[in-house]
Structure 1
Amino acid sequence: MTLTINLTNNEKRVLLALSKKDRFSPEDLAAASELSTEASMQSAFMLAEKGLCEIKETVTTTYNLTKEGEQYAQISLPERQVMNSLKEPLSLSELKKKFPPQMVGIALGWLRKKNWVKIEGDRIIPVEKAEVGEDENILTKLRKGPLSDIGEAVKDLIKRNLVEKTEKKSRIIIITSAGKAIAAKGLTIEEEIVQLTPTIITSGSWKNARIRPYDIHTPIKPIYGAKIHPYQRLINEMRQIFLEMGFTEIKGDIVQSSFWNFDALFQPQEHPAREMQDTFHLATECDLPEEYIKPVKEMHENGGGISRGWGGKWSEDVARKQVLRTHTTAVTIKYLADHPDTAVKAFCIDRAYRREAIDPTHTPEFEQLEGVVMDKGVSFKNLLGCLTEFYHRMGFDEVRFRPGYFPYTEPSVEPEVYIESRGKWVELGGAGVFRKEVTLPLGIKQPVLAWGLGVSRVAMLRLGLKDLRELYQSDIDWLRKSTVV
């Protein structure tokens, strides 16, 4: 009787209807219980949870021809049409005279896949008699109407958008022995109060009415408040730390000249970083800053009196070519050139682009945190202190620096932090003091401390991710459950 007491009126109606027949479809159950299909099925699912009925689902799959599939079912597949025309070897140009170029492209791929032809240079040579394939048989059968039982070759036809797959779900509702026992004892459908209102309370009508039981142990639906994306929160945190340390944030263009991206940083024009595997080169060019052309050229070719330079001939044409910036150093070096006589503490946290293969630790576009300090008397020791303070504020207790090499800084280091959970040191960027070959051609006479830190790598450590791509995926569950602090 306990179960009967806890049944809603709709559940009672559905249970009484189920007791009159062995099985019901959703439509039949709605009619028998005098409820809508949605309401009757909702009650049926609640009864199923209580073990009073069963809901059996079956999925029926059918296959139909698309409009394009109907066309090829009548006149044959592109590869069959081309194959039928190949009485002898033909050149590709001759074949394109017989058929539309787009159709030839489709046909050649499938001709090779089915081993009906071989291609030698520009000649298409039929190999052997092409037997009718399973995919062609399927198209022939589907001309007569939809089918449910069909061969494996239909997968290729679906990929080619010649056949579409349709799934239809059907349900049957059956009363259980426990449900029959309760229905046999009799169920009384009486008016019940679902929600108390001020009128019901003040009138006292609730005293003689049945109030629907409320289960205080039923789990409530979780509520997720709006919040900033975890990656953006981390970027904001980094920005705030440098602002609190007295730095000024600067911005710059995504499209940069090779001059500011490479030449101003004393990277030789034949450096591998300029090749296509690393840099996104654009077909456009731009003007060069006239006042820096001669000193930069002299520094590259002859060393400007302080080194041997790179030798060879420095080309203005190469320097004019535009690229997607490969690092935000292109922004900070231009800022320094525009402010050569004043003390500078500046940073740029923005996106950079490189021609990288996508894998768990690399993407073609990524965020970089670039910073510079320029002033009289600043030293390498100041650089290490500044970066140590930053990483401590980011929550990394142990920081160390390993000697490194970069074309435009000397000395150079790679900051590392110790990750307790991984039991190892992790490198997070590069830093150093700008070489005089970089600063002197731009009129900068004071020492410059510079660094470029990988934002996404810090994000992976802070957020416990093993794959960088997770930062950019539309995983709403991960976003909802990510902690704000």
Structure 2
Amino acid sequence: MEIRGIERKLLYELKSLKVAELEQLSKALNEDIASVMRASKELENKGLVKLREEWKRVITTTEKGRKALEEGFPEKLLVLGILKSETNELEKILNLVGREANIALGWAIRRGWVKIEERNGKKTVALSVEDPRKLLDEETEEEKLLKFVSKSEEVSLDDIKSKTSETALNNLRLRGLISEYKKRIWYVEITEEGQKLVERGIPESENGLSEITPHVIKSGVWKKIGFKKYKVEASGPKIYPGKRHPLREIIDKIRRIFLEMGFKEARGPIVESSFWCFDALFQPQDHPARELADTFYLKGLESKLPERDLVEKVKKTHENGWITGSRGWRYEWKEEIAKKSVLRTHTTAVSARYLQKVSPPSKVFSIGKVYRNEKTDWRRLHEFFQVEGIVVDEEATFRDLLGYLSTFFRKLGFEKIRFRPAYFPYTEISVEPEVYVEERDTWLELGGAGIFRPEVTEPFGIDCPVLAWGLGLERPIMLILGMRDIRDFYKNDLNWIRELPYRILRGV
């Protein structure tokens, strides 16, 4: 049995260690990881070592976390600002803190450091601790933990849990000061046979050439020295080719499917008027979805309304139903509300714009980002992708709608599809399509669909059925991939992308 140079060094290193991580051995032997992996594979084939693979969750400091360590946690900066300020007016204190003022205030109140009071019609902020100077000098549990993590490129989650509380760890996660991801770790363990060989002493291997170069061929040195033996069955280093982000992969697949089905793509602006985002879709101006709690409004930016004739028709439809057979919403519709600019809350706004220039028969789809003023957590984002489709056809029926959706989902790779009755404000009849995800053994709701109500289509002069549907992308893909946190899509974690299966869905 021939044991080559790096293999010899590896066995002697394991003599006392017995078992070690691949990265640890790479540093100890001063060899790159790929070379140590090849040597380990060779020794495993010879029965001298065992290779074992484990997945660990590791923590690393984010850019935001490094900034907090350098400049200080926002809530401490707030306390410092209160101490230095000559005023206790809330607004002026927050201006001193800067961009993260609201974050600072929230955490300071949560920790019981400050309290907000109202005096003479103005909100004031006051310290609620006896010794604020001591508070600034002492490190919080989160600060200690963040410093510990920042000392290394990455730290095992198991190591962290033994040094801190779950509350401190969750607080750092919640604030985006640390990033958590899965990492594959290889362990190399010497076998009993390998241990005996090392104790007996490993004989020196014969010298030989390990590669062919122009010099080796021209000089003829290969005739005298010969070549080392190669085992062509041995595994080589793992290579990571270029790979698209899973969302991009799905988006491209959906685009190809719709084009194959005879649709054409439509696009619209991200900054949209309330008219196209809400009013044209027969959503009343006092609807809860139009409030600041759900929608991002752009201050100081007023949008232009379309031609007067369309605006008047939409206005009458809202107020009394116009000629649609509806009673409308029975309120006074206001242009100034329709002119307010928003970040579009759904891609249905693109479909609404398209209705003003469409003539049947026509099939259109759109894919784009939408924005909702929602709390960001493990299952919600304030920015996400949505897919929209409409069919305008005099012969279109509800069964056609189900047929289009069934065809689309089957092309996407789902075999089991079902539809459940639903309610949506601008479609009637309405359904929610669901697909069966075998990997998760569950039915997954993928959006909403229906036929646009006359209150939506009549103002555009369309007197034929308009089939419509829309679905979000991130949440269903998250469940299919078994992800725990929807925010992982946007962390740009190369390790996560590298380890994802190339085909995320069947047929992609």
Identity %: 43
Please list the CA deviations of residues 275-329 of structure 1 after superposition, one character each: whole Å capped at 9, or x if unmatched: 1222111121112112212111111111114221101110000000011111111
1:303 to 284, 296, 321: 321
Inter-partner Cα distance in structure 1 for 2:269 and 2:288: 23
User: 2:334 matched to 1:315?
Assistant: yes
Give runs of aligned pairs for residues 321-336 of structure 1, distance below 5 A.
321-336=340-355
Inter-partner Cα distance in structure 2 for 1:336 and 1:114: 53
Inter-partner Cα distance in structure 1 for 2:480 and 2:486: 12
Partner of 1:6: 3
Inter-partner Cα distance in structure 1 for 2:355 and 2:80: 67
Whichever of the two has the greater Rg, that structure is 1
Are 2:378 and 2:486, in contact at CA under 8 Å, matched by a contact in 1? yes
Evaluate the alpha carbon distance shift between residue 117 and residue 470 of structure 1 in structure 2; reply closer, same or farther with a 3 A threshold: closer
Evaluate the alpha carbon distance shift between residue 125 and residue 193 of structure 1 in structure 2; reply closer, same or farther with a 3 A threshold: closer
1:267 to 283, 288, 300: 283
Inter-partner Cα distance in structure 1 for 2:4 and 2:218: 27
Please list the CA deviations of residues 122-147 of structure 1 after superposition, one character each: whole Å capped at 9, or x if unmatched: 4858976x5985985x9xxxxxxxxx
Are 2:387 and 2:472, in contact at CA under 8 Å, matched by a contact in 1? yes
The residue type equivalent to 1:307 in the other structure is: S
Structure 1 stretch displaced more, 421-430 or 111-120:
111-120
The residue type equivalent to 1:425 in the other structure is: W
Are 1:8 and 1:212, in contact at CA under 8 Å, matched by a contact in 2? no
Partner of 1:209: 225
Partner of 2:261: 245
User: 2:283 matched to 1:286?
Assistant: no
Inter-partner Cα distance in structure 2 for 1:113 and 1:354: 26
The residue type equivalent to 2:88 in the other structure is: L
Structure 1 stretch displaced more, 399-408 or 263-272:
399-408
Evaluate the alpha carbon distance shift between residue 113 and residue 392 of structure 1 in structure 2; reply closer, same or farther with a 3 A threshold: closer
Partner of 2:159: none
Inter-partner Cα distance in structure 1 for 2:404 and 2:433: 11
User: 2:373 matched to 1:377?
Assistant: no
Inter-partner Cα distance in structure 2 for 1:329 and 1:182: 75
Structure 1 stretch displaced more, 351-360 or 473-482:
473-482
Evaluate the alpha carbon distance shift between residue 222 and residue 7 of structure 1 in structure 2; reply closer, same or farther with a 3 A threshold: closer
Task: Give the drift of 1:398.
Answer: 2.1
The residue type equivalent to 2:342 in the other structure is: V
Evaluate the alpha carbon distance shift between residue 131 and residue 299 of structure 1 in structure 2; reply closer, same or farther with a 3 A threshold: closer
1:92 to 88, 93, 106: 88
Task: Give the drift of 1:204.
Answer: 4.6
Are 1:250 and 1:346, in contact at CA under 8 Å, matched by a contact in 2? yes
Q: What's the TM-score, normalizing by structure 2?
A: 0.64
Partner of 1:146: none
Are 1:301 and 1:313, in contact at CA under 8 Å, matched by a contact in 2? yes
Give runs of aligned pairs for residues 313-462 of structure 1, distance below 5 A.
313-339=332-358, 341-460=359-478, 462=480
Evaluate the alpha carbon distance shift between residue 218 and residue 120 of structure 1 in structure 2; reply closer, same or farther with a 3 A threshold: same
Evaluate the alpha carbon distance shift between residue 221 and residue 296 of structure 1 in structure 2; reply closer, same or farther with a 3 A threshold: same
Inter-partner Cα distance in structure 2 for 1:476 and 1:204: 45
Gap runs ≥5 in structure 1: 16-37, 52-68, 139-151, 169-175
Q: What's the TM-score, normalizing by structure 1?
A: 0.67
Partner of 2:245: 229
1:258 to 274, 281, 299: 274
Inter-partner Cα distance in structure 2 for 1:205 and 1:10: 25
Evaluate the alpha carbon distance shift between residue 196 and residue 362 of structure 1 in structure 2; reply closer, same or farther with a 3 A threshold: same
Are 1:292 and 1:442, in contact at CA under 8 Å, matched by a contact in 2? yes
Inter-partner Cα distance in structure 2 for 1:479 and 1:41: 28
Evaluate the alpha carbon distance shift between residue 153 and residue 7 of structure 1 in structure 2; reply closer, same or farther with a 3 A threshold: same
Partner of 2:62: none
Task: Give the drift of 1:388.
Answer: 1.6
How many matched pairs?
Answer: 404
Are 1:135 and 1:154, in contact at CA under 8 Å, matched by a contact in 2? no
